[in-house]
Structure 1
Amino acid sequence: MRRGENLRSEDYMLIDPFINGVAEFHDRHRDMRLDVDNMSYEELLALEERMGNVSTGLSEETIMKSMQQRKYFSIAEESPSSLEPCCICREEYVTGDDIGTLDCGHDFHTNCIKQWLTQKNLCPICKMTGLGT
């Protein structure tokens, strides 16, 4: 179409199909959409069964290969109140405990963080990726 030419109604519809509400709204994916807000508990359970489980965790082998580990040793000058406990089990670190360090630098009991990372590869403190594999 060139400027100054007479436009036919079909041409006009190609340019702006939404003028005067002429556009036909056809949602071809309507039958695929789910209204989970209005589903019953039983329907949600059935949906969960159909979808399956998506795990974002790591294997134990990958965790042990990638995670930095060390033994915890208490320094006599340090006061126990200045040390943060393991945020997963909420227990204080004791001399001889196995400590696992994530890529972000946060420390945890090795067994605590190992169990956490098998479920989700995120740091429980800062939410950064726990271990880059």
Structure 2
Amino acid sequence: MGRITDSRDNYHELRLDVDSMSYEQLLELGDRIGYVNTGLKESEIHRCLGKIKPSVSHTLVDRKCSICQDEYEREDEVGELNCGHSFHVHCVKQWLSRKNACPVCKKAAYGKP
């Protein structure tokens, strides 16, 4: 029984309370952890991105891309995620290559929600 208690204590020491860390401590932690890419591969981006044209779809709630903040033009290629939010295709591809989440609602763009 003593071994279980000891292992729990060891794991307790490994947990970090990032909410109570100073700015400098957070920077140091970031340096130790390094960059973690949670983005998608090109093939995954193509599977989760439906393409629409703003002139065809009158259901676009926003008339501008939430990523670049430019208004949609008739010739723009617009992509829609499963959550229903739409963006310029080139903007959302770049976003999804870094993070597997909708920039607006944070729902997973590909894979398990």
Return the TM-score normalized by structure 2: 0.66
CA distance in 2, matches of 1:61, 1:38: 38
The alignment yields a C-alpha RMSD, in angstroms, of 3.1
2:54: which partner in 1? Answer: 72
1:85 is the counterpart of 2:64: yes
Residues 87, 44 of structure 1: alpha-carbon distance in 2 compared, 3 angstrom cutoff? closer
CA distance in 1, matches of 2:37, 2:45: 15
User: What pairs with 1:17-96 in structure 2 (closer than 5 Å)?
Assistant: 28-29=9-10, 31-34=13-16, 37-38=20-21, 41=24, 43-73=25-55, 84-96=63-75
CA distance in 2, matches of 1:92, 1:40: 37
Deviant stretches of 4+, over 6 Å: none
2:99: which partner in 1? Answer: 120
Residues 48 and 82 of structure 2 are in contact (CA less than 8 Å); yes or no, is this contact kept in structure 1?
A: no
Percent identical residues? 40
Q: Deviations over 1:12-38 (max 9, x none)?
A: xxxxxxxxxxxxxx8833654556535
CA distance in 1, matches of 2:47, 2:15: 42
* Structure 2: segments with no counterpart, 5+ residues: 1-5
Pick the structure with greater CA Rg.
1
CA distance in 2, matches of 1:90, 1:39: 33
Return the TM-score normalized by structure 1: 0.58
Q: Which of 1 and 2 has higher RCO (CA within 8 Å, sep 6+)?
A: 2
Q: Deviations over 1:64-93 (max 9, x none)?
A: 243111333268xx8xxx852111111111
User: Given residue 50 of structure 2, which amino acid in structure 1 is its aligned partner?
Assistant: Q
